[in-house]
């Protein structure tokens, strides 16, 4: 059964395990090695963790630019070495007790748009071939280059003032945020705290959406395991749903065998008559007449002006193509 498993899983990651832990868990459960995730979630974070399974891992590069949506809580007046409450508290600043709601809203509004963000030391970003978190565990701090990120939307849900450790009126800010790939929400919390002059850290994080995958439709580990044990594969989504705006081109049965070898396919190789009108440079899915996904193809034009499709990523075996 594992040999034919291909698709995507909208996994609801619980707080605690790493994203790689969840990949390994799916590998063991399904008995398949080819599993990867799209977008790391910190161990303490929960929410949508998209997984590509089987040959669907070959499609991950086409989904790497998905934007992401989160619900987060920020504590002002607290600094930690990891920029969240999973780390060690290194400063408590009582000035935060005097920060007003108007000041908080003003700074958060300033964060919307493009800004330069320096990745935290406790992160999976690489420095000279090593992960930053590995260096952080050794007590090392290295200079990191800033990266351009985009805050698309930010909406404050509520601002409360509650006691936290030695702070009688610690501001706690709950907000929803939509960001570009590579944005660290805990770093944003730390940056907001710096702008307010009191420091800040992230208290919790839930990813509510990653591309088209939403929290409402995510599967828990328990639900996936129970479904697998009763041979119910409904948790496995078509890889096409991750790139739903691509066209689908149906390959004639006699032309399928050439797909595995990367042979170019002329318009006569397809059952879709509209293929002849596709613009060069258009990327789409190649399917068998029965609906099975075969490959990703790119439409090109030869020197004579004739349109042809070049398979880019073949997703099935030779046996599947000739059966």
Confidence category of residue 242, pLDDT binned at 50, 70, 90: confident
Q: What is the pLDDT of residue 143?
A: 78
Q: What is the pLDDT of residue 265?
A: 92
Q: Select from 3.30.590.10, 3.30.2350.10, 3.30.429.10, 3.40.50.620 the CATH code of 2-63+214-241.
A: 3.30.2350.10
Whether 128 has a pLDDT exceeding 80, the answer reads no
Average pLDDT over all residues of the chain: 91
Is 246-322 the same fold as 2-63+214-241?
no
Per-residue pLDDT tens over the stretch 24-82: 999 999 999 999 999 889 999 999 999 999 999 999 999 988 999 999 999 999 999 99
Task: Tell whether pTM > 0.85.
Answer: yes
The dotted CATH code for 68-210 is 3.30.2350.10
Sign of the alpha-carbon torsion through 113, 203, 163, 88: negative
> What would the two tokens of residue 25 be?
């868990």
Is residue 42 annotated as a catalytic residue, yes or no?
A: yes
Catalytic residue among 42, 67, 191, 245: 42
> For residues 187 and 193, what is the distance between their CA atoms, to the nearest angstrom?
10
Whether 320 has a pLDDT exceeding 70, the answer reads no
In the numeric block, the tokens 């996904």 are attached to: 293
Q: What is the pLDDT of residue 156?
A: 98
The dotted CATH code for 246-322 is 2.30.130.10
Domain-wise residue ranges, the chain: 2-63+214-241, 68-210, 246-322
Whether 319 has a pLDDT exceeding 60, the answer reads no
Top pLDDT among 27 and 143 is at: 27
Q: Cβ–Cβ contacts within 10 Å for residue 319, how many?
A: 9
> For residues 265 and 311, what is the distance between their CA atoms, to the nearest angstrom?
8
Which residue, among 201, 187, 123, has the nearest Cα to 151 in the 3D structure? 187
Q: What is the pLDDT of residue 250?
A: 94
Q: What is the pLDDT of residue 134?
A: 75
Angle at 57 between CA 41 and CA 251, to 5 degrees: 145
Confidence category of residue 1, pLDDT binned at 50, 70, 90: very low
Whether 161 has a pLDDT exceeding 60, the answer reads yes
């Amino acid at each position: 059964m594992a040999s034919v498993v291909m698709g995507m899983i909208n996994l609801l990651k619980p707080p605690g395990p790493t994203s790689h832990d969840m990949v390994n868990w799916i590998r063991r459960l399904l008995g398949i090695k080819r599993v990867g995730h799209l977008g790391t979630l910190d161990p303490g974070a929960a929410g949508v963790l998209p997984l590509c399974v089987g040959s669907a891992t070959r499609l991950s590069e086409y989904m790497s630019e998905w934007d992401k949506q989160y619900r987060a809580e920020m504590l002002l007046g607290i600094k930690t070495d990891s920029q969240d409450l999973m780390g060690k508290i290194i400063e408590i600043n009582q000035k935060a007790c005097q920060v007003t709601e108007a000041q908080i809203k003003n700074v958060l509004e300033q964060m919307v748009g493009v800004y330069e963000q320096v990745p935290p030391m406790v992160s999976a970003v690489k420095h000279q071939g090593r992960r930053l978190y590995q260096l952080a565990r050794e007590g090392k701090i290295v200079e990191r280059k800033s990266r351009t990120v985009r805050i698309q939307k930010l909406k404050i849900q509520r601002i409360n003032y509650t006691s936290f450790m030695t702070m009688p009126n610690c501001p706690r800010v709950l907000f929803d945020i939509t960001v570009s790939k590579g944005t660290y929400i805990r770093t944003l919390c730390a940056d907001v705290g710096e702008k307010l002059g009191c420091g800040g850290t992230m208290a919790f994080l839930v990813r509510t959406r990653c591309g088209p995958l939403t929290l409402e439709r995510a599967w828990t580990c328990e639900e996936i395991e129970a479904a697998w044990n009763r041979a119910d594969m409904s948790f496995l989504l078509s890889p096409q749903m991750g790139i739903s705006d691509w066209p689908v081109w149906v390959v004639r049965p006699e032309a399928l065998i050439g797909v595995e070898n990367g042979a170019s396919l002329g318009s006569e190789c397809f059952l879709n008559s509209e293929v002849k009108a596709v613009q060069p440079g258009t990327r789409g899915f190649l399917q068998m007449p029965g609906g099975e996904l075969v490959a990703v193809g790119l439409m090109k034009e030869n020197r004579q002006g004739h349109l042809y499709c070049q398979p880019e990523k073949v997703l099935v075996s030779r046996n599947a193509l000739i059966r």
